[in-house]
């Protein structure tokens, strides 16, 4: 990968072959310095993230650029604003596929979405879906594809995909995907909704138009979109337990009464957040928001 440096003094002083830099090599002082640079340059606060996980990703970025120590990389990060964006993207890793964890989408298609569509039919605004940390848009577009098949003329659906990275959202809006992002897409859906462009596939603009993408930092932003269904999968694992609890409480507050929350397979409700939801499907990590009357009766 090109480190975009034209100044020979900015080139790595040591390389991977000389020292394999890993997350544990990143000192607290180095981490704090990187945190301060990202906060000053990009308004992104690393404090709420799990240090060990994030340190691994920072170390990977350092190794990718060929550096064997943090100090040289921090100098680069200070000098090159573009590298701040590259690091931010590396930290907020964007790995997703259409219909990732297919059994989850089977439950959504067969049970959850028909139930919510029926409930919201005829109501102002219709069904509202929010995909948190949507990366390249694969998840909200998967929901849009399901809704395209499930909705009747009387149904209204609004789908929001949010992510902290403006760059990844720009790519999401383009609706162009590499083939490996589509391995879980049924052949009939691929044929009906995608057009091959070289080695990539472009999603129909009609489906793309069903999703509204917004930049949103779930730790920093105070406004959360109202929703009947929230998908927040494989994101909580990157936050500290304290921040997970704060996020879950915010999601519960923004969900409609008896709205549904879908977490990732490796995620679960933490601490007192278990009191906010009832488990609907333990295998797929689907939870229903408990209504206030139920909560009050349990106090």
pLDDT tens for 132-153 read 999 899 999 999 999 999 999 9
Residue 212: the pLDDT is 97
Instruction: Say if CB 193 and CB 203 are below 8 A apart.
Output: yes
- The mean pLDDT of 28-45, rounded to a whole number, is 84
Residue 255 to residue 236: CA distance in whole angstroms = 17
Triad 53, 225, 45: Cα angle to 5° = 30
Q: What is the mean pLDDT of the chain?
A: 86
Q: What is the pLDDT of residues 227-262, one digit of tens each?
A: 999 999 988 877 777 888 999 999 999 999 999 999
Q: Is residue 154 very low, low, confident or very high in pLDDT (cuts 50, 70, 90)? A: very high
Residue 292 to residue 299: CA distance in whole angstroms = 11
pLDDT at 6 over 70: no
Q: Tokens 């509202």 appear where?
A: 128
pTM of the model: 0.75
pLDDT at 214 over 90: yes
Residue 35 to residue 55: CA distance in whole angstroms = 11
| DSSP track, 153-202 | TT--EEEEEEES-HHHHHHHHHTEEEGGGGTTS-HHHHHHHEEEETTEEE
- Residue 135 has which token pair? 């990366």
Residue 113: the pLDDT is 97
Q: Tokens 């000192």 appear where?
A: 27
Q: What is the pLDDT of residues 86-101, one digit of tens each?
A: 888 788 766 689 999 9
pLDDT at 5 over 70: no
pLDDT at 126 over 50: yes
Residue 279, strand partner residues: 287
Q: What is the pLDDT of residues 12-36, one digit of tens each?
A: 444 444 458 888 899 989 999 998 9
Q: Is residue 43 very low, low, confident or very high in pLDDT (cuts 50, 70, 90)? A: low
């Amino acid at each position: 990968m090109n480190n975009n440096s034209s100044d020979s003094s900015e080139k790595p002083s040591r390389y991977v072959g000389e020292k394999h830099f890993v997350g544990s090599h990143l000192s607290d002082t180095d981490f704090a310095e990187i945190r301060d640079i990202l906060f000053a340059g990009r308004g992104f606060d690393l404090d709420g993230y799990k240090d060990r996980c994030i340190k691994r990703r920072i170390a990977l970025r350092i190794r990718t650029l060929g550096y064997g120590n943090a100090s040289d990389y921090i100098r680069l990060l200070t000098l090159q604003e573009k590298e701040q964006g590259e690091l931010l993207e590396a930290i907020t890793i964007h790995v997703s596929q259409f219909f990732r964890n297919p059994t989850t989408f089977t439950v959504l298609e067969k049970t959850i979405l028909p139930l919510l569509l029926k409930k919201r039919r005829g109501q102002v605004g219709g069904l509202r879906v929010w995909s948190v940390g949507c990366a390249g848009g694969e998840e909200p577009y998967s929901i849009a594809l399901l809704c395209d098949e499930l909705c009747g003329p009387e149904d209204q659906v609004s789908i929001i995909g949010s992510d902290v990275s403006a760059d990844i959202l720009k790519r999401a809006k383009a609706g162009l995907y590499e083939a490996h992002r589509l391995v879980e897409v049924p052949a009939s859906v691929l044929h009906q909704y995608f057009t091959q462009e070289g080695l990539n596939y472009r999603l129909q603009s009609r489906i793309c138009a069903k999703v509204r993408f917004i930049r949103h930092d779930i730790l920093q932003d105070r406004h959360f979109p109202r929703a009947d269904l929230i998908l927040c999968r494989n994101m909580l694992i990157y936050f500290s337990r304290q921040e997970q609890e704060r996020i879950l409480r915010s999601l519960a507050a923004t969900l409609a009464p008896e709205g549904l929350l879908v977490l990732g397979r490796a995620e679960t409700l933490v601490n007192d957040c278990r009191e906010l939801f009832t488990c609907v499907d333990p295998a797929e990590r689907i939870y229903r928001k408990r209504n206030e009357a139920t909560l009050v009766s349990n106090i």
